[in-house]
Amino acid sequence: MTDNESKGIPNRLFFRLFQTGNVLQRQVQNEMGISTVQWAVLGALSRGGFEAGISFNQLTEYLFVSRQSLDGVLKRMERDNHVLRVPHPDDGRARLVKLTDQGRAYWESLQERIYQFYQQGLKGFSFDDSVNFLHYLNKLQHDLARIDLGHGHQAGMEEQAEV
């Protein structure tokens, strides 16, 4: 394998990941009628132990989304009466994001379609394939979260530009 071929594989892999994310977003919207972020918020808030809610900051960190993106999604979900923001009992300035009873009922009503979505989306995967794929996605997420090109990279780019 040539050096150019080996450099092309990561580019193809990350581009395919980008495409897959876009297909997922489109299919969730088309088939479920909600965005992937709304789906993730409902799923996160429906987990055991979060009945009283979760802080906005914790939710952004858990979902790996920006504050601005999450705020816009929560505003739409509040209008639909699926979530509400309540004062944090320990910090009056902070808010907890909480699933409403209507939001929980909505989440429950989606479960059969979610199961079918997963079944169809993973139909080409064996159980072992799914476990391995999850393992590799976890490794990729871990490594991506630790990327730090630092200022040394930027300085190198500036030096190259000056030559």
Assess whether pLDDT exceeds 60 at residue 72: yes
DSSP category for residue 39:
H
- Please report the pLDDT score of residue 43 as a whole number: 96
What letter represents residue 78's amino acid? Answer: E
- Please report the pLDDT score of residue 3 as a whole number: 72
Taking only the tens place, the pLDDT of each residue in 14-63 is 999 999 999 999 999 999 999 999 999 999 999 998 888 999 999 999 99
Q: What angle do CA 59, 65, 47 make, to 5 degrees?
A: 35
Average pLDDT over residues 84-107: 92
155 versus 94: the higher-pLDDT residue is 94
State pTM to two decimals: 0.82
Confidence of residue 88 (pLDDT cuts 50, 70, 90): confident
Confidence of residue 1 (pLDDT cuts 50, 70, 90): low
In the sheet that holds 91-99, the strands lie side by side as: 54-55, 91-99, 83-88
Q: What angle do CA 148, 144, 5 make, to 5 degrees?
A: 95
Paired tokens of 36: 């992937």
Q: How far apart, in whole angstroms, are the C-alpha atoms of residue 116 and residue 137?
A: 22
Assess whether pLDDT exceeds 70 at residue 152: no
Question: Strand, helix or coil at 159?
Answer: helix
Confidence of residue 108 (pLDDT cuts 50, 70, 90): very high
CATH class of 36-123: mainly alpha
Assess whether pLDDT exceeds 60 at residue 159: no
* Gyration radius from the chain CA atoms: 20
- Please report the pLDDT score of residue 153 as a whole number: 53
- Please report the pLDDT score of residue 7 as a whole number: 81
Q: How far apart, in whole angstroms, are the C-alpha atoms of residue 41 and residue 53?
A: 11
